C-alpha cells in the first residue's frame, strides 16, 4: 500500500496540499471574470480530491521502475504515458461533473461552454501527476536509506555477537585444562618438552586472539592456526591423532572469517578421534570453484558412541556465523554413515 494511505497524519497533510491546489484551480476559473466563486469551489474541490487519489497510483510504477535501474527513455515513456492516461480520466470525470453542475441549474452559467478549457485542464492534470511521481520517488529514496541504515545496524550487532561467540569458542576450557595437565606431567619427566608445550600453547592463544580480532583472514592463516592447535593436541593424543590436508594452492589466499574452521577440527577430535582406541586421521580438504569455496572436514567415529553428546552446539555456532555473514549463500551440512563423520561448509569467495 502507498505509505501516505497507511498513515492518517500523512494522508491529512497530503489532502491539505490538494486543498491548496483546489483553491488555485478555483482562482483560475473565477479570476478571468466569467464565473462566480461558489461555482469555482463547487467545481474544483471534488475534482481535486478525486485526482488526489488517482495520482497515488504513480507509487506502484515508482516501485516497479527504480530510478537507478531504469534507463531515462523508458522512464519518460512510462510516466508520460501514465500521466496522459490519468489526466484523460480526470478530464473526462471533470467534464461530466461540469455538465452535471451546469444542468442542475443551481449556478447561473452560460451552458454553451465547459467550465474549464479541456486542453488547459489536461495540461494541469499531466503536471500534477508528474509532480506526484517526483514526490513518490523522494519517498522511495527516503525509505531505502532508512532501511539500509537499519540493516547495517543489524549487521553490526550480529557481527559483534558472532565475534563474542567465536572468542568464547576459541578458548575451550577442556582443551586448556587438559593441555595444562600435560605440561604438569611433563615438567618432571621431560622439562624441555614441558617448555615447548608451554610455548606452543602461548603461540596458539596469541595467534587466535590476533586473527579473531580481524574481520577476514586468509585461508592460509586459518590453516596455520589449525596446525598449531593440532600440534598441541598431538602431545596429548600421541600417535592416535593423525592429520591430512588436501588444499589447492588457489584456495590459500581466499579470505574467510577467522576461526571458522578451527572449531570443526576441534569437533573432529573431541567427538571423533578421542573416542577411538586406535585414533584416526582427520582429513581437511578444500575445493575452490570460481565463486564458491568448499571446505570439508572428515573424521572417523566410533560406531558404538552416540553422536549427540554436544556435537550439535559447535556446528550450530559455525552455521549461525555463516548465515550472518553470507545469508543463504553460506551453507553447512553434516552427515555420518556410522563410521565416518563429514562436515562440509560452502561460502562465497572473497579474494
Partner 1 sequence: MTTIQAILVDDEELARTLLREYLAEYPDVEIAAECANGFDAVRNIIELKPDLVFLDIQMPKLSGFEVLELIPHDLAVVFVTAYDQYALQAFNVHAVDYLLKPFTKERFAETMRLVRQRLQGRDSKVLDQLVHSVRQREKPLQRVLIRNGSQVHVIPVDQIEYVEAQDDYVAFVTKGKKHLKQQRLSEVEEQLDNARFVRIHRSYILNLDYLARIELYAKDSRMAILKDGTQLQVSRSGYEKLKARL
* Residue 99 touching partner 1 (CB under 8 A): no
Span near partner 1 by CB under 8 A; candidates 95-103, 140-148, 178-186, 322-330? 178-186
- Min dist. Cβ of residue 338 to partner 1 (A): 11
Quick note: the x/- pattern for partner 1 over 330-349, rule CB under 8 A, is --------------------
- Min dist. Cβ of residue 284 to partner 1 (A): 22
Question: According to CB under 8 A, which residues from 148 to 177 bind partner 1?
Answer: 173-174, 177
Q: Which of 141, 302, 312, 336 binds partner 1 (CB under 8 A)?
A: 302
Contact predicate 183/197, CB 8 Å? yes
Gyration radius of the chain's alpha carbons? 36
Q: Where are the beta strands (DSSP E) in the chain?
A: 217-218, 241-246, 255-256, 280-289, 292-300, 331-336, 340-348
Q: Say how many C-beta atoms besides its own lie within 10 A of residue 248's C-beta.
A: 14
Residue number with CB closer to partner 1 (73 or 277): 277
Residue number with CB closer to partner 1 (93 or 185): 185
Cβ-based neighbours of 31, under 8 Å, separated by 6 or more: none
Span near partner 1 by CB under 8 A; candidates 5-13, 127-135, 153-161, 274-282? 274-282
- Min dist. Cβ of residue 301 to partner 1 (A): 11
Question: According to CB under 8 A, which residues from 181 to 240 bind partner 1?
Answer: 181-186, 188-189, 235-238
DSSP summary character for residue 249 = G
Number of residues that bind partner 1 (CB under 8 A): 26
Span near partner 1 by CB under 8 A; candidates 15-23, 44-52, 74-82, 269-277? 269-277
Residue number with CB closer to partner 1 (80 or 171): 171
Indicate the helix (H) or strand (E) that contains 38.
helix 37-55
Contact predicate 300/273, CB 8 Å? yes
Q: Which of 316, 258, 263, 256 is nearest to 286 (CA)?
A: 256
- Min dist. Cβ of residue 319 to partner 1 (A): 24
Cβ-based neighbours of 203, under 8 Å, separated by 6 or more: 228
Cβ-based neighbours of 198, under 8 Å, separated by 6 or more: 183
- Min dist. Cβ of residue 229 to partner 1 (A): 16
Residue number with CB closer to partner 1 (133 or 265): 265
Contact predicate 344/332, CB 8 Å? yes
Q: The cell 545469508 sits on which residue?
A: 327
Q: Which of 95, 178, 285, 336 binds partner 1 (CB under 8 A)?
A: 178
Contact predicate 345/332, CB 8 Å? yes
- Min dist. Cβ of residue 204 to partner 1 (A): 17
Note the residues at the interface with partner 1 (CB under 8 A).
Answer: 173-174, 177-178, 180-186, 188-189, 235-238, 274-277, 302, 304-306, 308
Amino acid at each position: 500500500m502507498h505509505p501516505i494511505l497507511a498513515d492518517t497524519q500523512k494522508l491529512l497533510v497530503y489532502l491539505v496540499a490538494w486543498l491548496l491546489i483546489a483553491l488555485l484551480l478555483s482562482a483560475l476559473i473565477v479570476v478571468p471574470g466569467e464565473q462566480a466563486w461558489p461555482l469555482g469551489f463547487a467545481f474544483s474541490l471534488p475534482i481535486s480530491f478525486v485526482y488526489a487519489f488517482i495520482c497515488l497510483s504513480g507509487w506502484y510504477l515508482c516501485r516497479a521502475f527504480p530510478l537507478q535501474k531504469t534507463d531515462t527513455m523508458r522512464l519518460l515513456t512510462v510516466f508520460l504515458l501514465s500521466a496522459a492516461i490519468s489526466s484523460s480520466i480526470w478530464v473526462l470525470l471533470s467534464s461530466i461533473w461540469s455538465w452535471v453542475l451546469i444542468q442542475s441549474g443551481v449556478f447561473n452559467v452560460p451552458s454553451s461552454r465547459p467550465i474549464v478549457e479541456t486542453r488547459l485542464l489536461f495540461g494541469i492534470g499531466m503536471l500534477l501527476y508528474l509532480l506526484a511521481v517526483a514526490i513518490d520517488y523522494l519517498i522511495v529514496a527516503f525509505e531505502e536509506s532508512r532501511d539500509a541504515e537499519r540493516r547495517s545496524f543489524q549487521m553490526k550487532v550480529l557481527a559483534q555477537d558472532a565475534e563474542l561467540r567465536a572468542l568464547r569458542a576459541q578458548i575451550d576450557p577442556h582443551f586448556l585444562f587438559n593441555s595444562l595437565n600435560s605440561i604438569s606431567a611433563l615438567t618432571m619427566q621431560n622439562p624441555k618438552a614441558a617448555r615447548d608445550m608451554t610455548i606452543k600453547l602461548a603461540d596458539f592463544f596469541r595467534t587466535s586472539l590476533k586473527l579473531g580480532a580481524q574481520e577476514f583472514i586468509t585461508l592460509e592463516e586459518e590453516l596455520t592456526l589449525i596446525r598449531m592447535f593440532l600440534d598441541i593436541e598431538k602431545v596429548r593424543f600421541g600417535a592416535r591423532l593423525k592429520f591430512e590436508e588436501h588444499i589447492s594452492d588457489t584456495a590459500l589466499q581466499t579470505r574467510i572469517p577467522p576461526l571458522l574452521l578451527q572449531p570443526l577440527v576441534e569437533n573432529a577430535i573431541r567427538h571423533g578421534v578421542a573416542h577411538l582406541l586406535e585414533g584416526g586421521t582427520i582429513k581437511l580438504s578444500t575445493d575452490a570453484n570460481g565463486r564458491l569455496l568448499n571446505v570439508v572436514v572428515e573424521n572417523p567415529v566410533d560406531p558404538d558412541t552416540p553422536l549427540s553428546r554436544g556435537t550439535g552446539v559447535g556446528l550450530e555456532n559455525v552455521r549461525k556465523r555463516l548465515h550472518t555473514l553470507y545469508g543463504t549463500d553460506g551453507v553447512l551440512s553434516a552427515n555420518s554413515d556410522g563410521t565416518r563423520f563429514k562436515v562440509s561448509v560452502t561460502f562465497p569467495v572473497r579474494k
